[in-house]
Structure 1
């Protein structure tokens, strides 16, 4: 029995024949029991102290990595590895919540097989989608002591049992504002009923994952704001200039070409004057969406300012640019419906090329601008390539 009165076991003295123990013998056994209790309790205290030291060391390492700006993948992998190092036999995963798809995406599982990662790479947020899907859905810890007998594991049971796991506990990871960021899961090789102390231990590492994920989300948000237009969410001037610089470098290294387009909306001012800027903003957002769908991964489109957009392409042929210009003109000319009003605009496009027309961004912008005004002079809703006669 421990000093706090809790029972840790029994000491039995057994003989092969009936025997009455004397008071002296009973006292000796009690003394031995007390001595063994102290040894066991001391051993537990040493183990707890060792684990506490490992915990502090792991926390300090992870927090240092976060403060130093280490990659999110390294930080999350180290969180998993530290838990696996301290708690022998377990394996850990961290999944990130995708708001747009309402799915969890596996982003850290350093000790698990590729087959496991493939099968559990994306998990819907739902009460019947394993411990992680349920933890994210219920927004609370989900402890499954026996995976084989739990119905929420039906879809994933085969691969998890094949990997050698019998139990799983998953914690939802929240931001400081209470928003769901993901899940932190611990897999056990045997059926497992966790103690409160073990749950608290894992929660500490879940909190570290929260700090890392929230920091990364904030950094991504700041980066997006710095490089994108607030209204249309398209890349802004800064982002576009950096992309053009990369395109120029690639073209010079590989004797390639760069094409630049400037789009200006014809008579857009009329919409703002007639209906107000709320309607004009809606037109800009819708047309930005259409432009992005026209371009896809062929190049980049950015909002240059006002009702003007710029596009850049590597190694684009003139026939490609002609067909794309026609497609864009057709898409832009379709009406935009907003609050019962059909809003119509057209666009004029000017095109210049590196190195044929110029070798700097300022030159290409200037010459594409000349070509765009030539398209307007030709009746608008048109496109033109830069030539020496464009100005």
Structure 2
């Protein structure tokens, strides 16, 4: 084993050692690229990440080296065949791009310093699923050495570990922030996001309006029609609430049959418009010809007064308005 490869092994081990505290996946991938290029400086490296939902590859470009990445030899991601790569498993998937007709149309040689060879190593998960590809490009008319093959395999392994760690972190973050049944924010995420909204309205001298929504007779409905039907009601309300969600409006399930909405508005007129839309959409819905109703309360506050109350106080005020509206409707 060459001294260069031993040094690369040690450097990659350092990357893995610091993986738990590394800033982000982009930082990890950029370090892999830099290290691979440092070891064999006659090559350039690029990484393509696989989007499992879209079933396509996209080039990884780090913001700190955007221009450098644009100048690299880049594979056309729309022409990378998912099935072809998967079938190759850990085998190098492309070689001489100037003489292999299969790959000739997939590459653009404009503004490239005579890169004639390109080798791609699939980045595979621990479950053998494709996560991406790491490409090594070189100008020489020569095959990769054993050391270069070994280096590319090491780089792909480190990429795989980094990407899987990032996927797990995203999954945990989702579970911590979203209600399992309705797929909208939970209480924790709502509190986190409304703090940002409060900062926004302070900067813009605007209003914040909250809506507290409680489904009428939900326990009785559950008892009569079953919990499966009750879950359908909650999902239906969550689905309607999602239609209101945007950069200035957030929706969440507080628990049970209670939902909460906040919205940043520029005036009381806009607050009333938002209020009328919420009431129109959510006060009554129908599932299997069964009419479901909800009580809705609101609370609007200007940024000048926001320091005189806290988030719990605002929610309490919206809740009390909902409670009064619920009892008023029963009295009618």
Query: Same-fold call, TM > 0.5?
Result: yes
User: Which one of 136, 139, 143 corresponds to residue 93 of structure 2?
Assistant: 143
TM-score scaled to structure 1, two decimals?
A: 0.71
Report Cα offsets for 1:230-285 as digits up to 9, x if no partner: 11221111111122223233434554332221122234334422321122223322
- Residues 262 and 309 of structure 1 are in contact (CA less than 8 Å); yes or no, is this contact kept in structure 2? yes
Quote how far apart the aligned CAs of 1:334 are: 4.7
Aligned to 1:57: 10
Cα distance between partner residues in 1 of 2:290 and 2:44: 57
User: Which one of 234, 238, 242 corresponds to residue 184 of structure 2?
Assistant: 234
Cα distance between partner residues in 2 of 1:145 and 1:286: 53
Structure 1 position 372 matched with structure 2 position 322:
yes
Per mean C-alpha deviation after superposition, the further-off stretch among 132-141 and 322-331 is 132-141
Cα distance between partner residues in 2 of 1:253 and 1:361: 18
Closer, same or farther in 2 for the Cα pair 1:310/1:141, shift >3 Å? farther
- Residues 237 and 302 of structure 1 are in contact (CA less than 8 Å); yes or no, is this contact kept in structure 2? yes
Structure 1 position 352 matched with structure 2 position 299:
yes
User: Which one of 246, 250, 257 corresponds to residue 196 of structure 2?
Assistant: 246
Counterpart secondary structure, 2:136: strand
Closer, same or farther in 2 for the Cα pair 1:114/1:76, shift >3 Å? closer
Unaligned runs of 5+ in 1: 1-47, 381-391
- Residues 294 and 327 of structure 1 are in contact (CA less than 8 Å); yes or no, is this contact kept in structure 2? no
Name the larger-Rg structure. 1
Report Cα offsets for 1:278-305 as digits up to 9, x if no partner: 2222332233233112223332111111
Aligned to 1:83: 36
Quote how far apart the aligned CAs of 1:310 are: 0.9
Quote how far apart the aligned CAs of 1:120 are: 6.4
Closer, same or farther in 2 for the Cα pair 1:53/1:230, shift >3 Å? same
Quote how far apart the aligned CAs of 1:368 are: 0.7
Structure 1 position 101 matched with structure 2 position 48:
no
Aligned to 1:202: 152
Report the count of equivalent residues: 321
Closer, same or farther in 2 for the Cα pair 1:234/1:86, shift >3 Å? same
User: Which one of 242, 255, 263 corresponds to residue 313 of structure 1?
Assistant: 263
- Residues 132 and 185 of structure 1 are in contact (CA less than 8 Å); yes or no, is this contact kept in structure 2? no
TM-score scaled to structure 2, two decimals?
A: 0.82
- Residues 44 and 137 of structure 2 are in contact (CA less than 8 Å); yes or no, is this contact kept in structure 1? yes
Quote how far apart the aligned CAs of 1:88 are: 2.1
Structure 1 position 257 matched with structure 2 position 191:
no
Cα distance between partner residues in 2 of 1:364 and 1:82: 53
Counterpart secondary structure, 1:230: coil
Per mean C-alpha deviation after superposition, the further-off stretch among 272-281 and 77-86 is 272-281
Cα distance between partner residues in 2 of 1:49 and 1:138: 28
Cα distance between partner residues in 1 of 2:197 and 2:261: 12
- Residues 263 and 308 of structure 1 are in contact (CA less than 8 Å); yes or no, is this contact kept in structure 2? yes
Aligned to 1:178: 128
Quote how far apart the aligned CAs of 1:375 are: 3.4
Closer, same or farther in 2 for the Cα pair 1:89/1:331, shift >3 Å? farther
Unaligned runs of 5+ in 2: none
Quote how far apart the aligned CAs of 1:364 are: 0.9
Higher relative contact order (CA 8 A, sep 6+): 2
Counterpart secondary structure, 1:224: helix
Aligned to 1:163: 112
- Residues 271 and 343 of structure 1 are in contact (CA less than 8 Å); yes or no, is this contact kept in structure 2? no
Counterpart secondary structure, 1:229: coil
Report Cα offsets for 1:208-229 as digits up to 9, x if no partner: 1111111111122222212221
